[in-house]
């Protein structure tokens, strides 16, 4: 029977527990256990360790039977013995509060055409898949399931450079809800500074889709290449010219969107984040020529809003 005075001991929220006298040193020879084992049950069962015997006994402790009427007095008592540490609750995960709202965040993931469903070799897709696997998505299928669905639906005709498909996510903490997987040239072909016409058309379609599908913020890798975190994957001159060509293609896509809007209509896509490898910022601090300076100059000269 659970007594009211046991409530303060039930601090871990695990529900009803054994009474305190059945745990620790106080459970030594308790009648409940004695009955089950067939041992004597006179008094409280086995002799108990008494406090008076601890200081006077030659061995530092003594065993004696608790006198009648003094049960539970002058004996050692102990809190519940913990055979394992209390579990630590995991840190809270902030799920996306706007997975179905009117202001979504998108990310363009350039993926080589021959690695479009390979989450182990394509650098950006691999890092994105690792982040998706940290937390279970309770709203949309897992990334692997979405990729498999696209694979089975695009066998004939197969997806090629300039094509893209979109996956939805609600387990990335609200940072990204829509990922546009843009297929680029094969990983076997070295990246050049030219942007194919198919990529120009793809950027225009992505910008228009963002406007129609309420993607208000889009993060776009400026070089449109799966080069990982190192800017040195391309020679400086090639990376500079490629960044300028991507910006020209992006300007053409935004111009087309502006032409399709009504005079009083606001664009659904309101923010575009241009992403460069982390090494670009390190190059700026080190005084090494980087694509950052040329990109800023090109934006100031080509975009009136900068």
Q: Could you write out the DSSP letters of every residue in 182-227?
A: EEES-TTSPP-S---HHHHHHHHHHHHHHHHTTEEEEEEETT-S--
- Count of Cβ atoms closer than 10 Å to residue 45 Cβ: 19
Query: Model's pTM, two decimal places?
Result: 0.65
> Is residue 144 within a helix (H) or strand (E), and if so which, with residue range?
helix 143-153
> How is residue 173 written in tokens?
């903490």
The pLDDT, as a whole number, for residue 118 is 85
| C-alpha dihedral sign at 130, 135, 139, 141 | positive
Separation in Å, CA 183 to CA 244, 253, 258: 20, 18, 25
The pLDDT, as a whole number, for residue 51 is 46
Burial class of 62 by CB neighbour count within 10 A (0 to 12, 13 to 18, 19+): middle
The pLDDT, as a whole number, for residue 92 is 64
Question: 112: closest CA among 44, 51, 190?
Answer: 190
Collect the ranges in the chain with pLDDT lower than 70. Answer: 1-87, 90, 92-98, 187-191, 227-233, 281-285, 304-306
Burial class of 122 by CB neighbour count within 10 A (0 to 12, 13 to 18, 19+): buried
The pLDDT, as a whole number, for residue 55 is 42
Percent of all residues in the chain with a pLDDT value above 90, rounded to a whole number: 28
The pLDDT, as a whole number, for residue 288 is 73
Quote the mean pLDDT of the chain.
Answer: 75
Residue 108 sits at φ, ψ, to 5 deg, of: -90, 125
């Amino acid at each position: 029977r659970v007594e009211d005075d046991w409530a303060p001991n039930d601090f871990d929220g695990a529900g009803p527990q054994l009474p305190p006298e059945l745990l620790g040193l106080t459970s030594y020879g308790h009648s409940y256990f004695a009955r089950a084992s067939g041992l004597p049950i006179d008094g409280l069962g086995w002799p108990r360790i008494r406090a008076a015997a601890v200081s006077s006994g030659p061995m530092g402790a003594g065993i004696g039977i608790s006198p009648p009427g003094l049960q539970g007095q002058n004996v050692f008592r102990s809190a519940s013995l913990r055979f394992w540490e209390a579990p630590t609750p995991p840190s809270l995960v902030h799920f996306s509060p706007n997975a179905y709202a009117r202001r979504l965040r998108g990310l363009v993931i350039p993926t080589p055409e021959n690695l479009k469903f390979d989450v182990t070799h394509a650098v950006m897709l691999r890092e994105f898949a690792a982040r998706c696997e940290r937390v279970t998505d309770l709203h949309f299928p897992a990334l692997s399931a979405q990729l498999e669905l696209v694979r089975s639906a695009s066998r004939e005709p197969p997806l090629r450079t300039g094509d893209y498909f979109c996956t939805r996510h609600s387990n990335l903490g609200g940072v990204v809800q829509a990922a546009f997987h843009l297929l680029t040239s094969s990983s076997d072909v070295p990246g050049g500074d030219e942007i194919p016409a198919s990529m120009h058309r793809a950027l225009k379609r992505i910008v228009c889709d963002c406007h129609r599908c309420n993607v208000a913020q889009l993060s776009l890798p400026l070089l449109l290449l799966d080069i990982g975190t190192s800017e040195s994957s391309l020679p400086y001159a090639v990376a500079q010219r490629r960044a300028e060509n991507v910006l020209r293609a992006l300007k053409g896509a935004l111009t087309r969107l502006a032409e399709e809007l009504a005079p009083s209509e606001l664009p659904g896509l309101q923010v575009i984040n241009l992403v460069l490898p982390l090494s670009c910022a390190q190059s700026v601090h080190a005084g090494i020529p980087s694509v950052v300076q040329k990109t800023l100059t090109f934006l100031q000269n080509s975009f009136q809003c900068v």
